[in-house]
Structure 1
Amino acid sequence: MTKTSIQVDHIARVEGHGNVHVVIKDGAVETVEMNVVEPARLFESMVRGRSYSEVSYISSRICGICSASHVVTDLKAIERIFGVEPTERTRALRELLIYGSYLQNHATHLFVFAAPDFVGLPSVFPLAESDPALFEQALALKALGNELCTKVGGRSVHPITAVVGGFTHEIGAGEYLELADKMESMIPFVLKTVDLFDSFEVPDIATDGDMLAMVMEGYYPIECADTARFLKAGIEFDANDVDECIEEYAVPHSGALFARVRETGSPYMTAALARINASWAHLSSRAKVAAAKAGLRPPELNPFMNNVAQAVELVDALDRCAGICRKLAADEIPGSSSPVAFEVKAGRGVGFTEAPRGALFHDLTLDGKGRVVRASIMTPTAQNVANLEADMRLLAEKLAGEGRSEDAIRLEIEKLVRAYDPCLSCSVH
């Protein structure tokens, strides 16, 4: 009898703290656990009793990278309760704000967290020395995301200008055109990024789980819709019905709740890969060509391809944001971004956006004075952990069946965890 125990006490190059425990006995995988060891951060309790006007500023502190998504998601929930309909211009600004966090996140994940896996390096620092031009362009892309968030949201993290029904400040036409020029200048680099990550060899596995993404007719949505779809099950639902369609549950080895499709019991993945599977046809033409060249077409079920999907989204984001900036500069997007008038009301509403790492839901209940009675936050990583654990088992079984060494199995499992781009700190919120 041979027994192999693979224990990774700290997954490196991810945000937050987590461990992996895998037991293989006589070539058969017995145990696979993704241990999220972060303590609860209690953001849902922090906002209870607070005014609606404070909630988005508090919840944005859940994450430095995804703070823009938390702000906009809260605002959407509050606006559903108050019956506020933002203008088309406000929607465009919110899209820019969230895409700024995409540039921040995807650049960091791909080049700082994921790339060292595929070039045989322990961290990004040797890569910076061996290929300084690549490293400097990656940093420039991250800096552009910071600048976009600062120009639109007032800060590179934890934005302050986005409020219920609009924005308290908007930049001028010249600044929009300058941003558009900078975005277009980065497109050649991100096209090379798609080719780079497509060139890396990854294990051939296919997730058994479902995928979840925001959907909208004729568009690649990240903010402007309230409809979510489980791609495999074909189940569509409005964000307000999230509790009826997604079941969260506790497991003894994780500080984060796990999630599954309530109707089918299946775990699921929500990420760039899910978005591209759902809305591939609505990518920008340049991003679609890059995706096709990389062999990224629906249905793509290999979770390792989430790295390529993020690279494709960088192409799409730069194309899309440059176009939005030029339209805003030319006043081709109607309406004002100034906050619209509204009446404070009691009620419940669920905000829904596509954060960089996947679907994000904020469920708020307010009283007649606009104070929070109840809050629930469902982050992408919290939704992903169950499917990640299932995919770790698939991968371990494949590699064990091939007779791979303990070290090889450990490395590939760590690569898989990083391919999901988890934020384990956010998963316990």
Structure 2
Amino acid sequence: MTKTSIQVDHIARIEGHGNVHVVIKDGVVETVEMNVVEPARLFESMVRGRSYTEVSYISSRICGICSASHVVTDLKAIERIFGVRPTDRTRALRELLIYGSYLQNHATHLFVFAAPDFVGLPSVFPLAESDPALLEQALELKALGNELCTKVGGRSVHPITAVVGGFTHEIEASEYLELADKMDAMVPFVLKTVDLFDSFDVPDIATEGDMLAMVMDDYYPIECSDTARFLKAGIEFDANDVDDHIEEYPVPHSGALLARVKDTGAPYMTAALARINASWANLSSQAKVAAAKAGLRPPEKNPFMNNVAQAVELVDALDRCAGICRALASGAVAGSSEPVEFEVKAGRGVGFTEAPRGALFHDLTLDGEGKVVHASIMTPTAQNVANLEADMRQLAERLSGEGRPEDSIRLEIEKLVRAYDPCLSCSVH
């Protein structure tokens, strides 16, 4: 009997702490575990009893990258309870705010976390020496994301200007135009980024799980819809009905709850790849051409292609945000961004956005004074772990069947984990 035990203690170049445990006996994969070893952070308990005015500021601390998404998701949940309808201008600003975190996240993940895998380097530091211009442009892109979040949200992390029904501050038209010009100037670099990640060799696998993404007719939505779709099962649902369609469950080896499709029992992936599959036709023209050139067309089921999908989203985000900024500067976006009037009410509402790493749900119940009675949060990484384990099993079986040595299998599994771009700290919110 031949037994191979692959243990990776502390996966490098991801956010948070996690281990991988894989056991292969006589070519058969017996155990695959993604051990999320982060302790519970109790954000759902922290907001209980707090006023609706405080909730978004507290939950934004779940993540330093996706903080804008947590703020907007909470605000959407509260607005569904109060019956608030934000203006088109407020929605445009919220979209810019979330896209700022896309620029921050995707640039960091692709060049600091993922790229070293494909150029045979242990970290980003040798890359900084071998190709300093490449890394410098990547950092410029992240800085642009920081600037966008600062201009719209009041600061680069944990925004403070977004409130129920609007924003407390908005920049001048000249600043929007300056941002738009900077975004246009970064497009050639991100187009090269798509080509770069398309050039990397990856294992040929196809996830057997489902995919989940926000959907909307004739648009690439990240904030402006409340409708989610399981692409394989063909199930669409309103965010308020999330508990009817997604089931969370505990496992002994993980500090995070795992998730599956309630109707089918299947695990699922929610990420840039799921969004591209759901809304490919609604990408900007430059992004669509870049995706097609890279062979990224739906249905794309290889989870390693999430890296390429993130690069394509960078093209789309820059195109889209430049257009939004110019429309805001010209006054073409209707309405004011000042908070609208509303009445505090008791009730339940679920906010839903597409955070950089995937679908994010905040389920809030408020009492008549607007204080939180119950809160439940589903982060993208927590939803992804079960599907990641299934993909790791498939990959290990493939590589073991090819007779790959243990070190090679270990490296490819680590690359797969990083392709998912997990934030394990967020998964134990």
| Structure-2-length-normalised TM-score | 1.00
Secondary structure at the counterpart of residue 89 of structure 1: helix
Q: Secondary structure at the match of 1:359?
A: strand
Classify the secondary structure of the residue corresponding to 1:413: helix
Letter in 1 for 2:4: T
Alignment of structure 1 residues 154-303 onto 2, 5 Å: 154-303=154-303
Alpha-carbon distance in structure 2 between the residues aligned to 1:425 and 1:261: 23
Task: Give 1:381 deviation, angstroms.
Answer: 0.1
Q: Deviations over 1:212-264 (max 9, x none)?
A: 00000000000000000000000000000000000000000000000000000
Task: Indicate the SS of the match to 1:190.
Answer: helix
- Per-residue CA deviations over 1:6-61 (Å, capped at 9, x if unaligned) read 00011000000000000011111111100000000000000000000000000000
- Aligned position for 1:65: 65
Q: Is residue 423 from structure 1 mapped to residue 426 from structure 2 by the alignment?
A: no
* Superposition deviation, residue 162 in structure 1: 0.1
Counterpart position of 2:99: 99
The root-mean-square deviation of aligned C-alpha atoms, in Å, is: 0.2
* Aligned position for 1:312: 312
Give 1:361 shift: 0.1
Other structure's SS at 1:59 match: helix
Partner of 1:86: 86
What amino acid is the match of 2:327?
Answer: K
List gaps (5 residues or longer) in structure 2: none
The letter for the 1-side match of 2:194 is V
Counterpart of 1:5 in structure 2 is 5
Q: Which residue of 2 aligns with 1:122?
A: 122
Aligned amino acid, residue 200 of structure 2: F
- Matches of 1:257 and 1:389 in 2, distance apart? 13
Q: Deviations over 1:161-204 (max 9, x none)?
A: 00000000000000000000000000000000000000000000
Cα deviation, 1:295-332, whole Å, max 9, x if unaligned, reads 00000000000000000000000000000000000000
Amino acid at match of 1:386: A
Using the TM superposition, give the Cα deviation of residue 207 of structure 1 relative to its aligned residue in structure 2, in angstroms. Answer: 0.2
State the 1:85 CA deviation.
0.1
The residue that corresponds to 1:112 in the other structure is 112
What secondary structure does 2:16 align onto? Answer: coil
Q: In structure 2, the residue corresponding to 1:217 is in which secondary structure?
A: coil
In structure 2, distance between residues paired with 1:376 and 1:73? 12
Report SS of the residue matched to 2:364: strand
Consecutive unaligned residues in structure 1, runs of 5 or more: none
- SS of residue matched to 2:352: strand
Deviations 1:69-106 (A, max 9, x none): 00000000000000000000000000000000000000
Q: What does residue 410 of structure 1 align with?
A: 410
Q: Secondary structure of the equivalent of 1:266?
A: coil
Report SS of the residue matched to 2:171.
coil
**Secondary structure of 2:126's partner?**
helix
Aligned match of 2:31: 31
**Aligned residue identity for 2:285:** S
- Counterpart residue type for residue 123 of structure 1: S
**Secondary structure at 2:341's aligned position in 1?**
coil
Give the aligned partner of residue 149 of structure 2: 149
Q: Distance in 2 between matches of 1:397 and 1:109?
A: 27
Distance 1:28 1:403 in 2: 12
Q: In 2, Cα distance between the equivalents of 1:99 and 1:106?
A: 10
Partner residue, 2:132: 132
Partner of residue 351, structure 2: 351
Q: Aligned pair 1:20/2:38, yes or no?
A: no
1:372, 1:27 → 2: CA distance? Answer: 52
How many residue pairs are counted as aligned between the two chains? 429
Which aligned segments of 4 or more residues in structure 1 are displaced greater than 6 angstroms?
Answer: none
